[in-house]
Amino acid sequence: MKPYLLLFPFLTIAMTCLWLHHTAQEKIAVNNRTIERLKKATIQYVPLATKAPVVVSCDQLRTVFGKKLNTVVIADQQKLKEIATLFRNANSAKDRMLNVRVKFILQYTEHTETYCMDREGTLEGYDFRWDPKIVKWFKQEIER
């Protein structure tokens, strides 16, 4: 038997270990729930104090505010971890009509979630929970 043929099983094992390590970096299990890594966050907004002649829904944000709409794209991993943590601790407010001023578009490894925030800081969106820390973060980091 040729000695270099003995390397193939070891290379296969090494490649499998590298693939598993990469996969583990993409998804983290917390309380038996898989949380994907946040890849990018896009925040579309007008200042929270902005008035509009109509109640603005999440879908109407761009239509109503048009050129007044600001967009911030966040790709910094430290900030993305902070954003992911904030949205993991929020509460749903789907039971009320919101007058939207901010739209958060969170792009994860395998899916995208959209959340909208009204003037008071109440959120609606993809299966989430409410946390006032999101409003505080938005005012400090984005709206300054």
pLDDT tens across 55-90, in order?
A: 898 889 999 999 999 999 999 999 998 888 888 765
Is residue 19 assigned to a domain?
Answer: no
Domain count, the chain: 1
pLDDT at 129: 42
Query: For the chain, what percent of residues have pLDDT higher than 90?
Result: 22
Is residue 127 assigned to a domain?
Answer: yes
Give how far the C-alpha of residue 102 lies from the chain's centroid of Cα atoms, to the nearest Å: 13
pLDDT tier, 119 (very low <50, low <70, confident <90, very high otherwise): confident
Is residue 60 assigned to a domain?
Answer: yes
Boundaries of domain holding 59: 31-141
Residue type, 138: F
The string of DSSP letters for 33-85 reads EEEEPEEEEEEEE--TT---SSPPPTTTHHHHHGGG-EEEEE--HHHHHHHHH
Is residue 2 assigned to a domain?
Answer: no
Q: What average pLDDT does the chain have?
A: 75
Question: What's the number of CA atoms in the CB half-sphere (13 Å) around residue 81?
Answer: 6
- Which range is least confidently modeled, 35-39, 58-62, 127-131? 127-131
Torsion angle in degrees (nearest 10) through CA of 55, 57, 61, 63: -80
Is residue 14 assigned to a domain?
Answer: no
Is residue 9 assigned to a domain?
Answer: no
| pTM for the predicted model, two decimal places | 0.68
